[in-house]
Amino acid sequence: MRKHLLKPAAAGLSLALLAACTSVVAPLLKPDVSTEITKVKAGDYELDPTHASVLFRINHLGFSTYVGRFETFDASLTGDAADPASSRVEAVIDMTSLDVANAPFATELMGPDWFDAEAFPQAVFRSTSVAMTGDTKAKVTGDLTLHGVTAPVTLDVTFNGAAYDRLRGADVAGFSAVTTIDRTVFGVSKFSGLVTDTVDIEIQAEFMKQ
């Protein structure tokens, strides 16, 4: 009987000790994130896919805003805070990784009437210019290739901050970006005028210095 009573007590003590350790260690591990763009070290950065997302939103007949996301993508960043205009970004999205929380409908959207992901399995963005519009804001213009069509797109980018992350053992820079595209420009035209043609895109990304 005593052993049975000791087990919950020991478990509770362990949890208390773990919580105490976490409260002591957390301040030491928490990155000292700075929103000064000069804090971003020059060099090559790769995306941390576990802390990134690509979402799109489209108005559905006026009833709702339909939201989807892509689960598989990669990106790279090369730049120097002393010369932001020389920065370059490239991103590749696996169009077959579409997730709309409904597998049959995702299959339909990846089919020939919409994204035609079998014929065009990737969407690619390559930046062509970077223009700072504020201390933490920039417009990043580039060529987006989607559904076999390439057209210019401008991203409104916010620099969220940079710091050395002890947990990942790397210098990390975080960004948010939004843009709006006309899907018909890229040949995704089914139900054009019925389902809105404009698509809002949101990107969250953390890059680790290589």
pLDDT in tens, 51-78: 999 999 999 999 999 999 999 999 999 9
Q: Tell me: pLDDT of 32 over 70.
A: yes
H helices then E strands: how many in the chain? 2, 11
pLDDT in the model for residue 39: 85
pLDDT band at residue 8 using 50, 70 and 90 as cut-offs: low
Q: Tell me: pLDDT of 12 over 70.
A: no
Q: Tell me: pLDDT of 4 over 90.
A: no
Domain range annotation of the chain: 1-30, 32-209
Which among 99, 97, 52, 57 has a CA at the least distance from the CA of 77? Answer: 52
Beta strands in the chain (DSSP E): 43-47, 53-60, 64-70, 73-79, 88-94, 98-99, 122-132, 137-146, 149-165, 170-182, 198-209
What is the third-level CATH fold of 32-209? Lipocalin (2.40.128)
pLDDT in the model for residue 15: 57
Q: Tell me: pLDDT of 24 over 80.
A: no
pLDDT in tens, 78-120: 999 999 999 999 999 999 999 999 999 999 999 999 999 999 9
